[in-house]
Structure 1
Amino acid sequence: MTESTTKTAKVPDQDALARVGKTVRERLDADPKAYKIPSEKAEIYAIGEFLTSNECRKLAGMIDQVARPSSLYEGTYKDGYRTSYSGNFDSSDPTVKMISRRIDDALGLPGKIGETMQGQRYLPGQEFKNHHDYFFPSEEYWKQERKNGGQRSWTAMMYLNNVPAGGATAFPTLGIQIAPKAGVLLLWNNAKPDGSPNVNTLHAGTPVESGAKYVITRWYRTRKWG
């Protein structure tokens, strides 16, 4: 889908996305630990020391246990677009429940609209090329995702380790690159304040050049997930 099509198409969940966006924006703006990354085109925040070093090590070990070659929604990207390893955590695990609630509290959102945390591992040469986290209603997968909680609103990404070289989270249209730093929680709104998709949230996990990169992502919908 092109940017012009995104702008002109009817936007599912637009009012809900605007409401969720406002809730999180006000929550983060009032949080002294949250840093707003300067940008007029997208809402991106970071919270340092969100996880302890022990939590980071434990979660990285959990990723090693569930990691499988990463998949993509059918028909959206070509082979080689996402070459990392990933896996969903057990949502009933005490550690997963604790960290999930901590993220929910940071955003001021009910846990029921958050997807299960997914762990990702990138080894040298692995990457996730430019993509958006929000769903394209024109694609076949939307029929199912609409029933599974609707459109994605905010993305919460936690870095579990420092990467010796490469592995940045890049927002090419914004000219922003964020290097992985252990314990940091990175947050961004996939919609504009009016609830329409924000094409400027195009982002990539750049290739790891040295070492490994461990991250955890939790996506939020507009209504109860699943």
Structure 2
Amino acid sequence: MYKLNILDVSSGIIANSTEQISRLNAEECLLIGSALFKNHRYGLAAEWMQVSQQRFAEEGLTDSSVVTTTQAVIEIAVQHARKNATVNAVRQLTTAYHEELCRNADAKGVLSSYLRCYHETYGNPFLLLQPLEMEIISTKPSVIFIHRFLRDDQADQLVEIGRENVRRPKSTYGATNRTNTAKRRLAKSAALRANTSSFIQQIDRWSAMATDLNSQYAESLQIKNYPVGGALQLHFDVLQQGPLNFTAPDRMATLLVYLNDVEHGGATIFPLLDLTVPAVKNGAVLWYNQYKDGIPDGRTLHAGCPVLLGTKWVTIKWLHNIGHWRQRPCGLQEDSKNGLTVSQVHDLFKPSG
């Protein structure tokens, strides 16, 4: 995705980082190649195994059985890579653009949308002395970046709570929800109920104020940790993918908060909006996953870029449609008819033929 040179990576050179990383030996390169092969990443598997062969020679490890087996696997990997070269055109273009947005993301850059910045209070007296610093980064649909959403001490405390509670999920909702999100997300996570502690209650209340929504009609606060290589593939946050059921709660809005700076990688991207949101500590991203008529908004297709160096901590609050009819009433028109729906995006990703 980041177009890294495999020889550089195996030699401990990653992007423009000054951090010293150990050089990988022949066995470590072979293990990486084997893991990629098992995950059907045949092209990369062949490249890593070729590096391992070079390292075996450099290290004087000329065991004929190892060399012969590695060469045979390389040939199989190359054949598979050629066979899988033809893919659905729309899916290929979207995936390529997804990768381009991640490559161009600067994790330490300053977000600049050239749209509008303003202070928001929602008429709430609690926000008069500490208004929210809002930056509109997309209007259709509405995506807002909130600067300095948390204080450093609050973010650090959430990370510490996360360290004690996060686990690798067995299964979860999300994505173009036709596959198990746990298979698409390399991360650990934890759900923290509001009654866990007074501090979590405080963060819950602050999330409600920042969105002008009610945290009672929402899911528990989520904390997620992405290690090196941790990423989340293209997906939607809405739960309903079929006919709408207005009596069942769904994720109307998402509030994503970055709890630390990431040295390289970790941005959130919206490929259909040409939008990249870098991972900046204490910054928050707010967007709506549904049109006002309740239809899931296909333009909110998004992904988490892989973490290249460091680690990434985030907290997420999903707020439901039920209970917010005053704050976000249905429009007089079916606004989804003039936009892209989740179902239409699914149709684009169907295999051709």
Using the size of structure 2 for normalisation, the TM-score is 0.50
Residues 223, 86 of structure 1: CA spacing in aligned structure 2 closer, same or farther, 3 A cutoff? same
Q: Distance in 1 between matches of 2:263 and 2:132?
A: 29
* Other-structure match for 2:296: 197
* Other-structure match for 2:236: 132
SS at match of 1:173: helix
| 2:194 partner amino acid | S
Q: Distance in 1 between matches of 2:247 and 2:172?
A: 17
More helix by share: 2
SS at match of 1:112: coil
Alignment of 1:76 with 2:197, yes or no, is no
* Other-structure match for 2:104: none
* Other-structure match for 1:46: 145
Max radius of gyration: which structure? 2
Residues 146, 81 of structure 1: CA spacing in aligned structure 2 closer, same or farther, 3 A cutoff? farther
Using the size of structure 1 for normalisation, the TM-score is 0.77
Q: Distance in 2 between matches of 1:136 and 1:182?
A: 31
Q: Distance in 2 between matches of 1:81 and 1:137?
A: 18
Alignment of 1:49-64 (within 5 A): 49-64=148-163
Match of 1:36 among 131, 136, 142: 136
Segments of 5+ residues of structure 1 without an aligned counterpart are 1-24
Alignment of 1:152 with 2:248, yes or no, is no
Task: Give aligned-pair identity as a percent.
Answer: 27
Q: Distance in 2 between matches of 1:68 and 1:164?
A: 23
* Other-structure match for 1:67: 166
Task: State which drifts further: 125-134 or 215-224.
Answer: 215-224
* Other-structure match for 1:103: 207
* Other-structure match for 1:218: 317
Shift of 1:156: 0.5
More strand by share: 1
Shift of 1:110: 1.7
Task: State which drifts further: 51-60 or 130-139.
Answer: 130-139
* Other-structure match for 1:181: 280
Query: Number of residue pairs matched?
Result: 194
Segments of 5+ residues of structure 2 without an aligned counterpart are 1-119, 124-130, 324-353
**Runs of 4 or more consecutive aligned structure 1 residues displaced over 6 Å after TM superposition:** none
Task: State which drifts further: 79-88 or 209-218.
Answer: 79-88
* Other-structure match for 2:305: 206
Higher relative contact order (CA 8 A, sep 6+): 1
